[in-house]
Chains A and B, each alone.
Chain A
Amino acid sequence: MAVEQPQAQTAPAPVRAGEQTRIHNIGYRNYDGPRLGRAYARRSLYSQSLRGAYGLGRSVKSKVLPMLLFVVMCVPALIMVAVAVATKAKDLPVDYTRYAIIMQAVIGLYVASQGPQSVSRDLRFKTVPLYFSRPIETGDYVRAKYAALASALFMLTAAPLLVLYVGALLAKLDFTDQTKGFAQGLVSVALLSLLFAGIGLVISAVTPRRGFGIAAVIAVLTISYGAVSTVQAIAYDQSSTDAIAWLGLFSPITLIDGVQTAFLGASSAFPGGEGPSGAQGVVYLLVVLGLVAGCYGLLMRRYRKVGL
């Protein structure tokens, strides 16, 4: 197979280990170029995982769902913008901060489908040892995967906000107001992306079975939200408004709602709009940050065990 060795590269492959110098002209070329090391490998893994989260570099079949969800996420924003421009409305029909709360089911589906895709595959096909037999370490792998899914989620949640913002500017709404709202929305979805990516990855990394991962992520997100909003509604009926705010601590999406109500000028989606006060907001923020850190820690622990 080596007959077609071109003249240009006939520098004989040096027998590094050999006792005697022999000349082999069989076409094997040694690699003398740069080796870019750990940081580069981590970046490569990040970009590969991020592309993978939208099915890029994967089969056509695996592009369908993430792309579809992306479109579903953006279409309502387009409609709202079209309405706002056409009716010359004074404001957008929905706050920037509210959009993700309304679309939480789509976000949940996306996390449930792409979280397992990102990590369960490596576990299931035992590709993880191939990573760890290379310069990157547990932390690099976890950070790259976490950052990739969080970035993918941020794209998913920030894109419709961008549509709204551009639309608002086209409709000649107040620039300062809109920019402030847009910025607050971006901070909120960034936080949401970190939290949801962490939860999604921790659950997915437990099982090598993709199906279980998907079901478990959906269950955790919907059951917690369903339970919290039901109990909140009961609390509202019994007019114990204080309890409503505290109850919001127990599901991911209500946590984000609480943080943005307290700090990002959002109006709460809790029953009666009874969002957390400033002091409660601090607790919300701490819980969110604690969860993100906890998810990272759990992932590190999980992958320390996987090893080779």
Chain B
Amino acid sequence: MTVIATESLSKRFPRVTALDRLSVDVGPGVTGLVGANGAGKSTLIKILLGLSPATEGRAAVLGLDVATRGGDIRERVGYMPEHDCLPPDVSATEFVVHMARMSGLPPAAARERTADTLRHVGLYEERYRPIGGYSTGMKQRVKLAQALVHDPQLVFLDEPTNGLDPVGRDEMLGLIRRIHTDFGISVLVTSHLLGELERTCDHVVVIDGGKLLRSSSTTDFTQRTAILAVEVTDTDEHPDGTAALREVLHARGVETHDGSGLPGAGHILLLTAQGEETYDLVRDVVADLGLGLVRMEQRRHHIAEVFKDSDEQAAREAQARPAPENGDEQRKEAVGHGG
């Protein structure tokens, strides 16, 4: 079953190409949509909600064509915008009840669902107070609640972790995970941080300049690009355990990185994991050297790394064939004005 399907979807504005022949299939579960600001994420969501016609190509949400069934889609879908959207002078309860009715829920059901939903997103007594006095974290929860109150089959969450502190971020990510596992609602969540989506999503779609860079399951992603941080103890035999390990691994063809600048860099060895076998190799080498393995963990990486990869790839492709006409310029413009 496909939740979202687009077929060479394009959106052109007079001066900017926001989406450029985007073809992507998104299945059920939590899907991350990653891209820099202006990559076309918000434009895509607008088209998927049936609010903005595509210049060319087709898209379907929950099997409904966005061009003709916009109203039906919006009845089954929830949307949490990136920006502030809450009036400060009403309480969360009043606001969410009103939004539930706007989604077609009868008055009694709207009140009942509002109480349930606010509880699920973690708002309790404060829900009777005016929203104006809420913290950013609480406001994000209200925004999420209004997107979930009508029990949609799919929600679009636009940058839900924006402006949250690390704890709030973790809580929001946990909540997003639960929307799928516990509530049974599929999620499309956008972010410009790949690292945080990795933990939450089953599948990640990366777009840049309106083009699809990559669409794969999160496990693929981490396998292909994982950086391992390894810390070992020193022994009498190997006074500098890290150096000894690096030497042996290097000889075995494992790419190691200079971790200088990181906290405790002297004791931590960064290396590129090629797959499952790298983990085994590290374990075996550490055991052979008689060192103690303190830790071996995956390092989060930033979206920039994916862009760097793809830029290199694009450069190789560009060398192979004549350069596409003003592709780069278009992209720069989209980054500057789009979004």
Chain A residues in contact with chain B, CB under 8 A?
1, 13-19, 24, 26-31, 33-38, 40-41, 44-45, 48, 57-59, 62, 121-122, 125-127, 129-137, 307-308
Contacts and interface: CB of A to CB of B under 8 A. Distances in A.
Nearest to B75: A135
A59 B85 CA distance: 19
A308 B71 CA distance: 15
Contacts of B119: 1
A37 B75 contact: yes
A126 B78 CA distance: 17
B101 A31 contact: no
Interface in B145-202: 146, 150-151, 153, 178, 180-186
B68 to A, nearest CB: 14
B167 to A, nearest CB: 18
Nearest to B146: A130
B103 A41 contact: yes
A13 B184 contact: yes
> Interface centre among B28, B153, B183, by most A CB within 10 Å?
B183
Contacts of B99: 130, 134
Contacts, number: 138
A41 B102 contact: yes
Given A31-B151, A127-B86, A133-B79, A38 B183 contact: no
B81 A308 contact: yes
A44 B51 contact: no
Contacts of B45: 308
A58 B89 contact: yes
List of 3 A-B pairs having minimum Cβ-Cβ separation, nearest first:
A17-B28, A31-B151, A133-B79
B116 A126 contact: no
Interface of B: 1, 3, 28-29, 42, 45-46, 49, 51-52, 71, 74-75, 77-79, 81, 83-90, 94, 98-99, 101-106, 109, 113, 116, 119-120, 122, 130, 146, 150-151, 153, 178, 180-186
A267 to B, nearest CB: 45
Contacts of B78: 133
Contacts of A127: 85-87
B85 A125 contact: yes
Given A1-B119, A17-B29, A130 B75 contact: no
Contacts of B74: 133-135
Nearest to A44: B101
A142 to B, nearest CB: 15
11 contacts: A31-B109, A31-B150, A34-B104, A40-B101, A44-B101, A125-B86, A126-B84, A127-B85, A130-B79, A133-B51, A308-B42
A44 B109 CA distance: 14
Contacts of A121: 87
Nearest to A131: B102
B104 A13 contact: no
Contacts of A28: 116, 120, 182-184
Nearest to B153: A16
A44 B98 CA distance: 8
B1 A17 contact: yes
Given A28-B183, A34-B109, A41-B104, 12 more contacts: A16-B185, A27-B120, A30-B184, A33-B109, A35-B150, A40-B101, A45-B102, A58-B89, A133-B74, A135-B74, A137-B71, A308-B42
Contacts of A134: 74-75, 99, 102-104
B103 A35 contact: yes
A282 to B, nearest CB: 41
Nearest to A138: B51
B109 A18 contact: no
Nearest to B131: A125
A16 B184 contact: yes
Contacts of B94: 57
Nearest to B116: A29
Nearest to B87: A125
Contacts of B181: 24
Contacts of B29: 17
B105 A15 contact: no
A92 to B, nearest CB: 41
B51 A132 contact: yes
Contact of B84 (A125, A132, A137): A125
Nearest to B43: A308
A14 to B, nearest CB: 6
B230 to A, nearest CB: 35
A18 B101 contact: no
Nearest to A308: B46
A220 B235 CA distance: 86
